Amino acid sequence: MTFGPKPPEGGDWSAAFGHAPVLLAETMEFLAVKPDGLYVDCTLGGGGHARAILGRLGPNGRLLALDVDPEPLEWAGAWGAGDPRLTLERASFGDLAGVLSRLGLGPADGLVADLGLSARQLLGAGRGFSITRDGPLDMRLDPDATLTAHEIVNHYPEYRLADILRRYGEETAARKLARLVVEARERAPINSTHELAAIAERALYRPGPRPRVHPATKTFMALRLAVNGELETLSRFLAQARSCLKTGGVLAVISFHSLEDRMVKLALRGEAPGPDEGGPIAQAWPKSKRGLIRKARTGRALTPGELRAPPDPVRAFRPLRRKSVRPTEAEITANPRSRSAKLRAAEAV
């Protein structure tokens, strides 16, 4: 395979790729990389975390880097050229156990997963992730996948579209927005990101100063999660992460929105949610027997008598910090896209 990227002046591959790694120092502190250890960067992206791990490995250490997007792997083939410690695989981190087994590797000393999009993906208009740059309604992380945002927006029935916006985007006006999308596509197909963003702006308009966050942000996030099955992939990854780690190994996950963070938090506590139609239920058991009433999936309130006692959690991990780690003000100033990041890390027990 021929790799296109050329070494940048000054050797700053992150700047050349156009993406700064988030919470890098904090992640490396939790991983405490052993020179002869095996580590997995489950979501390679710009490679900032991977290069930091390689810089701490000795000659007998090893790093496996995964990504479903071929572009980061091409770049890694350039900045990691000739390094026998680096193995690159085009694969989903939801299939990590199978990849390790196929390569005859593992269990690992550390796993790191950065769940956010890279700035390169966001800014590339041709990928369809950007609200501000017009492009096709694509949103695929894996360019070989078949489902696109165009398919969902233009062909899914209104009730399914509303469910995606509510479930994955936590959009309170999901039904109204879905209705306006259906009305618009009946007049003409919705083909571009700007067309969709304009519909979201009309549906979610509020009088007053222009909001800091674009009204279509939740819509775009919901479609991206649905197109790529990201929550389902994360659920599979969390279910197999312990089996992929040595006892004492570290799992570090960086998330960027509440659905992902809640799933990670529950998994590290041994309370991972079960599957639901179309995606995992990111919902905790009641915290105490005094119990306050929670909602069923249908929205019906459960009475205290209907609440089952929560099962004893299976402790596969010991969280290394009780709360999530957030970026410092200095990092947010230098990299505004890091502002919503949360890092959770735990040791396999």
Superfamily of chain region 9-120+230-348: Vaccinia Virus protein VP39 (3.40.50.150)
Helix (H, G, I), strand (E, B) or coil at 324: coil
Phi first, then psi: what are they for 138, rounded to 5°?
Answer: -105, -80
Angstrom distance (rounded) from CA 37 to CA 259? 32
Per-residue confidence (pLDDT) for residue 301, from 0 to 100: 53
For the chain, helix, strand, coil in percent to 5 are 40, 15, 45
Its CATH class, for the domain covering 144-228, is mainly alpha
Report pLDDT for 305. 53
3-state secondary structure of 110: strand
Q: What is the pLDDT of residues 87-109, one digit of tens each?
A: 999 999 999 999 999 999 989 99
What is d(CA 244, CA 266) in angstroms, rounded to the nearest whole number?
18
pTM of the full predicted structure?
Answer: 0.85
CA distance 182 to 83: 52
Distance in angstroms (rounded) separating the CA atoms of residues 20 and 27:
14
Q: How far is CA 168 from CA 94, 201, 262, 311, 334, in A?
A: 18, 18, 13, 27, 29
Q: What is the mean pLDDT of the chain?
A: 87
pLDDT single digits (tens) 302-340: 555 555 555 555 689 999 999 999 999 999 999 998 999
Domain residue spans of the chain: 9-120+230-348, 144-228
